[in-house]
Chains A and B, each alone.
Chain A
Amino acid sequence: ETGVTQSPTHLIKTRGQQVTLRCSSQSGHNTVSWYQQALGQGPQFIFQYYREEENGRGNFPPRFSGLQFPNYSSELNVNALELDDSALYLCASSLSSGRVNRELFFGEGSRLTVL
């Protein structure tokens, strides 16, 4: 059984650019969530995808968008990057959308630096 894998592990962008981060969910998991973790802080919920649809969103602007594919993998896209977007972006997968099984399994994250 493979865990949650994310790519790239590190990347550097400049302000105004766009970035795409990728995530493969744990085997058998159909739900993917994305979190932003600023340095020294707890993760903050960005959104969740279930059956290829966004079914929950945190307090993030529309320039944060995502996709989920039929194989349950996912992408996080961030447009018009700002300096404050510098953070560790974590992908988490789970067996269901959240009503029954609440366990979230996190990947190791993608460290984004915006200069």
Chain B
Amino acid sequence: QQQVKQSPQSLIVQKGGIPIINCAYENTAFDYFPWYQQFPGKGPALLIAIRPDVSEKKEGRFTISFNKSAKQFSLHIMDSQPGDSATYFCAASMNTGFQKLVFGTGTRLLVSP
């Protein structure tokens, strides 16, 4: 119940394409869903986050779609660029006295020129 399942494991798109990464969860107590981007040798960097009271959130070229009834959420990267090539992690947390993020297993994205 504490897991967040992420797919696909890896993804290759051409420049300008729209990669989509999907995540699913079971625990309905989760109420915060961030996405992190990680480059090799670096720590994860927060990209965008959503709470379950909205179905979509956009920040620049990044969009989160959220389906509360299906317990699924996804990241879309518009007009993808080679510089977007990185590993992307979805995560989830619940409203407790401490901040524990449960991460997905990651998606390695390659954007070809």
Contact = CB atoms under 8 A, between A and B. Distances in A.
Contact of A40 (B41, B46, B93, B106): B106
The contact size tier of chain B is 20 to 34
Interface residues of A, number: 29
A53 to B, nearest CB: 10
B42 A42 contact: no
A43 B101 contact: yes
A102 B43 contact: no
A43 to B, nearest CB: 5
Nearest to B46: A103
Given A98-B96, A102-B32, A42 B105 contact: yes
B99 A33 contact: yes
Interface in B11-44: 32, 34, 36, 41-44
Contact of A31 (B34, B99, B103, B105): B99
Given A41-B105, A42-B103, A42-B106, A56 B98 contact: yes
B85 to A, nearest CB: 16
Contact of A48 (B32, B43, B99): B99
8 contacts: A33-B98, A42-B106, A43-B101, A98-B93, A98-B96, A99-B97, A103-B46, A104-B46
